[in-house]
Amino acid sequence: MNPADRLPTIIQGGMGVAVSNWQLARAVSIRGQLGVVSGTALDTVLVRRLQDADSGGHMRRAMAHFPIPGVAEEVLEKFFRADGRADGTPYRLPTFSWAREFHGRSRVCLMRCRDIKSRQCDSTSKAHRRPSRST
């Protein structure tokens, strides 16, 4: 029997990003088992780290690989603070309506880019434009 065909004996999960880290999931995976890190509240973790100056540049480096450059630029413009937050300043978090619109536009663009078999989807694409609101 091929080892890849076997079901895992150990499934390690329940650790969230920014609660635990990838090392435990990696250690479990190296042993041929299933290690998982949850992505719950990932949007909140992202914008908080951007507002704390993104020490090490990990968030900005990951966003540079996002397949829709205009979307990544919008998030950076809205949330990145090069000098970080001042002590005692609350985090600016995405509102539900902004997040819903942002995620919706991202999803629509990704689907349209797949439909035209294009990996070059830029921020000027119709997929990124906000729908006009009729009055």
Per-residue model confidence as pLDDT tens digits over 64-113:
988 877 888 989 999 999 999 999 999 998 876 666 666 666 555 555 55
Q: What pLDDT was estimated at residue 56?
A: 93
The C-alpha atoms of residue 135 and residue 130 are separated, in whole angstroms, by: 15
* Gyration radius of the chain over CA positions: 19
